[in-house]
Amino acid sequence: MQLPDAEQLLETLAEQIHPLLRENTALVGIHSGGAWLAERLQAMLGGDIPLGTLDISFYRDDFSRIGLHSQVKPSSINFEVEGAHVVLVDDVLYTGRTIRGALNELFDYGRPASVTLAVLVDRGGREIPVEAQVVGAKLDIKPGESLELARDVTGKFHFILHEAA
């Protein structure tokens, strides 16, 4: 399968998000790929947009089954969530469970005025009703395969497709 250019999809995402920006808008990226993307989007859209990150490890619905991920990062929300227009950013939307966990954690910080979900890739396969309002591309990824956003030493993004075992 020919994978799309992640850098080009990031440009597309920025173009789609730009008209949505208004007073009291903040970007929140989900660790790790979504946090990388949100950081780059902040720079592309004008660095004065508040930026936060979420690590949903403790909010996963499979936490009791799979345990804690070995690379837990602290969440960082250094702006008032209450009443903010939050653009929640993630790299790949699949089952919707990561987004559910991210919303649960985000609401622990306060009640935003709105939440817009922006993802680089929507691969389908939802298990719960979650839909992104801003999407870089929709891809058909086979069940059992996974799509990973990676970045090289220069910070440039690319995708890696992991085949089913």
Q: Provide the residue type at 47 as one letter.
A: G
Q: Is residue 1 part of a domain?
A: no
Whether 17 is in a domain gets the answer yes
Computed from CA positions of residues 125, 131, 137, 138, in that sequence, does the dihedral angle turn out positive or negative? positive
Of 89, 79, 77, the C-alpha closest to 23 is 79
Judge whether 116 lies within some domain. yes
Average pLDDT over residues 69-94: 90
Is 27 part of any domain?
yes
Residue 13 included in any domain:
yes
Task: Provide, rounded to the nearest whole percent, the portion of the chain with pLDDT above 70.
Answer: 92
Structural domain that includes position 79: 6-162
Enumerate long-range contacts of 142-146, CB under 8 Å, 24 or more apart. none
What pLDDT, on a 0 to 100 scale, did the predictor assign at position 63?
46
CATH code of the domain covering residue 38: 3.40.50.2020
d(CA 118, CA 152): 22
Cis-peptide, bond into residue 32, ω within 30° of zero: yes
- Say how many CA atoms lie within 13 Å of 111 toward its Cβ: 0
Radius of gyration of the chain (CA): 15
Q: Does any domain span residue 138?
A: yes
The answer to whether residues 122 and 93 touch, using CB atoms and an 8 Å cutoff, is yes
What was the pLDDT predicted at 57?
Answer: 85
Q: What is the pLDDT of residue 62?
A: 53
Q: How many residues does the structure list for the chain?
A: 165
Q: Is residue 83 a part of any domain in this protein? A: yes
Query: Pick the residue with more confidence: 97 or 72?
Result: 97
Q: What pLDDT is stored for residue 153 in this prediction?
A: 96
pTM equals: 0.92
Quote the CA–CA distance of 127 and 146 in Å, as a whole number: 16
Q: DSSP letter at 104? A: H
Number of domains the chain is built from: 1
32: left (phi over 0), alpha (psi -120 to 50) or beta: alpha
